Each structure stands twice: as structure tokens, then as C-alpha cells.
Amino acid sequence: MMIFLFAMISFVTNLAAPMGVIVKVQFLEGSPNANFLGMLGNFANFLAYLFMGIPAGLLLQKFGGKKTALAAIAVGFIGVGIQFFSGVAESFVIYLLGAFVCGFCVCMLNTVVNPMLNTLGGGGKKGGQLLQIGGTFNSLAGTLTPMLVGVLIGQVTRETGISDVNPLLFAAMGVFALTFIVLSIVKIPELHKNTEEKTEKGKHSAWSFRHFVLGAIGIFIYVGVEVGIPATLFFFLASPKGAGVSAATAGFVAGTYWFLMLIGRFVGGAIGGKVSSKAMLTVASGAGVLLVLTAIFAPQNSFISMPVFTGSAFASVQVPISALFLVLVGLCTSVMWGGIFNLAVEGLGKYTAAASGIFMMMVVGGGVLPLVQNFIADQASYMTSYWVPVVGLSYLFFYALVGSKNVNTDIDVK
């Protein structure tokens, strides 16, 4: 059940960026900051984490994982419904509201799923392994979402609108309703519910651990990098000022990034019981820096035939060579979420549930960094904007090597 919820998180989250292409045409055509404004839906989705991260952790402690997840699913149904209504009302503001409400849903689900999987695995390498397996299904949903949006849009024209993806929004609401029913029946162990009437306030908290604080910053950066790379790539490929390919092709290329994340997480899940999160994060972040730098300095007028995953098979499309290197970064980002979470909560004991809520608050980076990246794309160029992921991946390399060590082992966590 937790792994399925992990997939739903990605499905809801990844609706925002490709729908931004529709928003750019329907509401923002002619604006000099169209990329920046088109990414506001994604920003609204992740902004919800800033407000809901800590409350979600408190809900988990007070009501347990099942009730928190059920509330999240109900909120998600409402959020997708608002996005559908934005197409009917042709309102950019209502679209942003729907994305914001959906953000509350995925924040609450993340707060439940991540500590549950890590604890079920017993922490350490096995906990990291379960997170990687959950991440595999997360990537599967992330692979299919931009592809489905791209297929439904086709070629972006002045007549393109949010109503073009109504079938996908209806399907999403149906999945939410069905999941609510199934989750109501399934028995879930309450591993992080606080059953005590009163708890003594100690002088320590999750913030007392240096490796957790640096890991929380790492999650902020990681989610921004993970989302910013394919989202900006989608804009770059579908824009006349970029590669100028169809939205369907752009969706397939962006979807292939998530497909490679699926492959990477599948491999990470298979070897997670033997390879430490520290080793995986070190190699992945280092390789990611090299790939993004190669994309930045690659000749922009050089095209290559690239195999893309179309949902059922592979096909070849002509894309700038930079796109190939950026898509390959998906293999690197695939293992980072589970690795950072596993390293950051290692040794936290009773502070784990509260730490999960703080982690969810920091996921707001998935809205902030892509917004910054696309502001740079508007002011300079798409490739210049990729210096943002370079800096972010460099920090994660530092965290893996140095910042992830628990130097506060003297704190009582029982």
C-alpha cells in the first residue's frame, strides 16, 4: 500500500510542469517571463510543503499513518477537481489554487510513506532498499504522466487549453476515489503514532542533529534539481525559442528522464541491501555534475537521434545533444531521495516522525529552484539556467562525503 501511495505522489506532482506548457499558451502568451510564470503551477504545488510539512508530521504522530493518508487522498481529489474547474472557468488563478491544494495532498502522503518504508526495513541499508523500491514505482508514475499530457496536447497551438487534458484529470479523480476505498479496508501498522497521553519536552529535537539539518537542506536542493531538469527541458524542447519540437515529443523526452529514474531506482532497490546510501549518493551526485556540465557546453546546433520511451515501446526522435545528457541525469537523481532520507534520519530514533515532517517542509525546494532556473532561462538562455542544478548537485556531493556523518551520537534517542 505504501509503495502504491509512493506512485500516486509522483503522478500528482508531475501533472504541474507539463500542464505549465498549456498555461503558457492559454493565459501567458506574449509575456516576456512566460517560462517563469508557466512554472508557477509547479511552484504552488511545492509551496504547500512549506505550510504543511510540520503539521503533517504532527498529524502522523497524533492520528497515525492510515488516517493521515486518507485525509491526504481526500484533499488530492479536491485539488484535481479544482484544476479541472480552472479549464471550465478559463482562470489562471483557479489553476494555481488547484496545484496548491494538490501540494497539500502529496506532502501528507510523503510524510506517511517515507518513514513507514524506512522503518519497515529496519533503517540502515534495508530501510534504504525499501525506499528505493518505492521510488521505482514513483518513477513509473512520473514516466507516464508527462507522456500522457503530451499525447493529449499534441502540437501546442493558440487553441490549446487545460480542458484538453480533462480525460487525465477525470482518471486521476477516479484513482483517488478508488484508493480511498481500498486504503479504508487495508490494515496498516501504526509505527509512528504517539500513544502516550503526555510527553516530556526535552532539550533536544531533530534539529539538534547536524547530519539531519544538512540533510534537510539536501532534500530542498535535491527535489529542486530533480524537478527542474526535466521541467525546464520540456519547456526548452516545446518552445519555438528552444528546439521547437511538438509537445508530444517533448513529453516523451521528459518522460524518458523519469523512465531512467525508474531503471536507476530498480537497480538501487536490487543492490540497496549491499551498497550503502552514502556510496550511492556520492557516485550519483558526482556523475550528475559531470552530465549537466557536458549538456551546458555541448553545441546547441548539434542534433542527435535519441531513443525515447513512448509508454509501450521505444522510438527515435531528433533532439539537441544537450537533451540526451540531461535525460541521462535521471539515472543519477533516481537514488538520491531515498539515500538522503536514509542518511539524514539514521540514528534519530524517537525524533524520526517529527524529522519526516520537517523533511516534507523542505520539499518546497521543488518549487523554488525550478522557478529560479526558469527566471534565468527567461533572462539569459535555457542552457545557462542549468548552472542551478550544477550548484545543487555539488552540494549533494559534499553532503554524501562529509555532511552525512552523525556527530551527535551522545543525544539520547530512546
Q: How confident is the model at residue 21 (pLDDT cuts 50, 70, 90)?
A: low
Quote the CA–CA distance of 79 and 76 in Å, as a whole number.
5
- On whether residue 88 sits in a domain, the answer given is yes
- Compute the distance between CA of residue 280 and CA of residue 170 in angstroms, rounded to an integer: 38
Question: Tell me: the pLDDT tens digits for 289-303?
Answer: 999 999 999 987 888
What confidence tens digit (pLDDT) does each residue in 321-367 have?
999 999 999 999 988 988 898 899 888 887 877 787 788 788 889 88
Q: How many residues does the chain have?
A: 414
In the chain, % helix, strand, coil (3-state, to 5) comes to: 75, 5, 20
Question: Which CATH number do you get for residue 359?
Answer: 1.20.1250.20
| Listed residue (240, 326, 292) closest to 35, CA to CA | 240
Distance from C-alpha of 86 to C-alpha of 94, rounded to nearest angstrom? 5
pLDDT in tens, 62-112: 888 788 889 998 998 998 888 888 777 777 788 888 889 988 988 888 888
* Cα–Cα distance measured from residue 191 to residue 60, given in angstroms and rounded to the nearest whole number: 10
3-state secondary structure of 27: coil
3-state SS, residue 196: coil
Structural domain that includes position 347: 2-188+205-403
Contact partners, residue 321, CB within 8 Å, separation at least 6 = 298, 299, 302, 303, 304
Our CA angle for 82, 87, 88, nearest 5°, is 90
In a domain, 298, yes or no: yes
Q: Which residue is associated with the grid cell 496498516? A: 188
Measured between alpha carbons, how far is 135 from 258 in angstroms, rounded to an integer? 11
Tell me the average pLDDT across 131-141: 74
Residue type, 151: V
0.85 exceeded by pTM = no
The reply to whether 79 falls in a domain is yes
Tell me the per-residue pLDDT of 142-183, one tens digit each, with 9 for 90 and over. 777 766 666 665 555 556 566 666 777 787 788 888 888 988
Helix (H, G, I), strand (E, B) or coil at 306: strand
Domain count, the chain: 1
